């Protein structure tokens, strides 16, 4: 019998039109998008379904939008498919903003609260560093040790840190733009397979995000957070968590901290997970997971057909 973890995607998985088939097919999915619209005081669903792309990729929209699509899938699985999350799924996890979706799925906080927190998180991260002063780069084919050495050399006198350890030889660095440029050149000198700057609007998950972390610390201190009904693997520790105060602390640290995705997947595999189900938009996490552990199965669930297929497997 399969042992399941549900995982929730982060920034980069968004596309205009995501979730629209769900909304057309299921009243339960439409209700989730309406809850998010009401929480934010605007029709974010229109941007999700119709674009334009520039509006959807603005981080203050992307973050609640991806959560909304993931939660629309969850709501359909539970209400239409009769899925009992606590008895069928062993662990939950999400990549960066996806951790909020994982926690909402586990009932740690409500969908409207998750939407408001993610809108604030996106705005605070965007404001933390003036446009053009910070950036991110993906380095593919280097070891963690090599990337740490690159960060130490290229970041001397400025800030450059590992933002995401995504596994499968993919590590993302984040920091001041001059340091990013030096790091990309250095990686090429070191004959690392590939190093490329990412089209992002801010240097996420590094200490330049401290102003945003301060904003989120204040917001999360006031947020109503409960123990999730299924343990959630935290990005910053790669360990399972059910304590509400620890979740609050982890989400705060996550703004400047490293997303330990490789370690998170390894921890889930070690706990006996053999089937990872990506809930929401895209298939990014499924690809990363298969590179981290080729022995496990992955499923991506974002459409009515995907939902039907998953429910048959339980």
What does the domain layout of the chain look like in residue ranges?
Answer: 4-128+208-312, 134-200
Note the pLDDT of residue 297.
96
pLDDT at 199 over 90: no
Name the nearest CA neighbour of 201 among 149, 126, 96: 126
- List CB contacts of 214: < 8 A, sequence separation 6 or more: none
pLDDT at 200 over 90: no
Average pLDDT over residues 221-240: 97
pLDDT at 168 over 90: no
pLDDT bucket at 95, cuts 50 / 70 / 90: very high
Segment 52-81, tens digit of pLDDT: 999 998 889 999 999 999 999 999 999 999
> Is 205 marked active-site?
yes
Query: For the chain, how big is the Rg over CA atoms in Å?
Result: 19
Counted residue by residue, the chain has a size of 314
Q: β-strands 240-241, 232-233: how paired?
A: antiparallel
CB atoms within 10 A of CB 88: 13
Question: What is the chain's mean pLDDT, rounded?
Answer: 95
pLDDT bucket at 12, cuts 50 / 70 / 90: confident
Which listed residue (174, 205, 264, 286) is catalytic? Answer: 205
Note the pLDDT of residue 1.
85
Tell me how far apart the terminal alpha carbons of the chain are, to the nearest angstrom: 9
Average pLDDT over residues 209-238: 97
Which listed residue (96, 174, 264, 286) is catalytic? Answer: 96
pLDDT at 266 over 90: yes
pLDDT at 253 over 90: yes
Average pLDDT over residues 105-131: 95
Average pLDDT over residues 133-142: 93
Average pLDDT over residues 284-306: 95
> Is 201 marked active-site?
no
Average pLDDT over residues 248-273: 97
pLDDT at 191 over 90: no
Task: Identify the burial level of 164 via C-beta atoms within 10 angstroms of its C-beta, where 0-12 means exposed, 13-18 middle and 19 or more buried.
Answer: buried
pLDDT at 110 over 90: yes
Residue percentage of the chain with pLDDT more than 70: 100
Task: Identify the burial level of 190 via C-beta atoms within 10 angstroms of its C-beta, where 0-12 means exposed, 13-18 middle and 19 or more buried.
Answer: middle
C-alpha span between 177 and 129 (Å, rounded): 11
Task: Tell me the two tokens of residue 2.
Answer: 């399969």
Same topology for domains 4-128+208-312 and 134-200, yes or no? no
pTM over 0.85: yes
Average pLDDT over residues 225-235: 97
pLDDT at 31 over 90: yes
Note the pLDDT of residue 96.
95
pLDDT bucket at 314, cuts 50 / 70 / 90: confident
C-alpha span between 57 and 11 (Å, rounded): 9
pLDDT at 35 over 90: yes
Residue percentage of the chain with pLDDT more than 90: 89
Name the CATH superfamily, with its identifier, for domain 4-128+208-312: Malonyl-Coenzyme A Acyl Carrier Protein, domain 2 (3.40.366.10)
Note the pLDDT of residue 239.
97
Average pLDDT over residues 256-280: 97
C-alpha span between 43 and 39 (Å, rounded): 10
Q: H helices within the chain, ranges in order?
A: 20-25, 27-40, 44-50, 53-57, 59-79, 85-88, 98-105, 111-128, 144-154, 177-189, 210-222, 244-254, 261-270, 284-292, 304-313
Q: Could you confirm whether domain 134-200 is CATH 3.30.70.250? A: yes
pLDDT bucket at 201, cuts 50 / 70 / 90: confident
pLDDT at 131 over 90: no
Task: Tell me the two tokens of residue 212.
Answer: 């945003």
């Amino acid at each position: 019998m399969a042992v399941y973890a549900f995982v929730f995607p982060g920034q980069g998985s968004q596309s205009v039109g995501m979730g629209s088939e769900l909304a057309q097919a299921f009243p339960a999915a439409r209700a989730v998008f309406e809850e998010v619209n009401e929480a934010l005081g605007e029709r974010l669903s229109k941007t999700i379904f119709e674009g334009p792309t520039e509006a959807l990729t603005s981080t203050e929209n992307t973050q609640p939008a991806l959560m909304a699509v993931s939660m629309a899938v969850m709501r359909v699985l539970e209400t239409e498919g009769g899925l009992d999350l606590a008895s069928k799924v062993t662990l939950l996890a999400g990549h960066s903003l996806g951790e909020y979706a994982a926690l909402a799925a586990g009932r740690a906080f409500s969908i409207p609260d998750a939407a408001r927190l993610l809108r604030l998180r996106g705005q605070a991260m965007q404001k933390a560093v003036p446009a053009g002063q910070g950036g991110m780069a993906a380095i593919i084919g280097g070891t963690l040790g090599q990337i740490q050495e690159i960060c130490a050399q290229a970041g001397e006198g400025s800030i450059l840190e590992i933002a995401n350890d995504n596994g499968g030889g993919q590590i993302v660095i984040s920091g001041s733009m001059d340091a990013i440029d030096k790091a990309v050149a250095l990686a090429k000198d070191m004959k690392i397979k590939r190093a490329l700057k990412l089209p992002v609007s801010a240097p996420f998950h590094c200490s330049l995000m401290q102003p945003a972390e301060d904003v989120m610390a204040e917001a999360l201190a006031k947020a109503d957070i409960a123990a999730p009904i299924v343990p959630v693997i935290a990005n910053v520790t790669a360990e399972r968590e059910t304590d509400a105060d620890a979740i609050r602390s982890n989400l705060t640290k996550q703004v400047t901290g490293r997303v330990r995705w490789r370690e998170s997947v390894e921890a889930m595999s070690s706990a006996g997970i053999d089937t990872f189900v990506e809930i929401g938009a895209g298939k990014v996490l499924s690809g990363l997971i298969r590179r981290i552990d080729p022995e496990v199965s992955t499923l991506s669930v974002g459409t009515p057909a995907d939902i039907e297929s998953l429910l048959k497997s339980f």
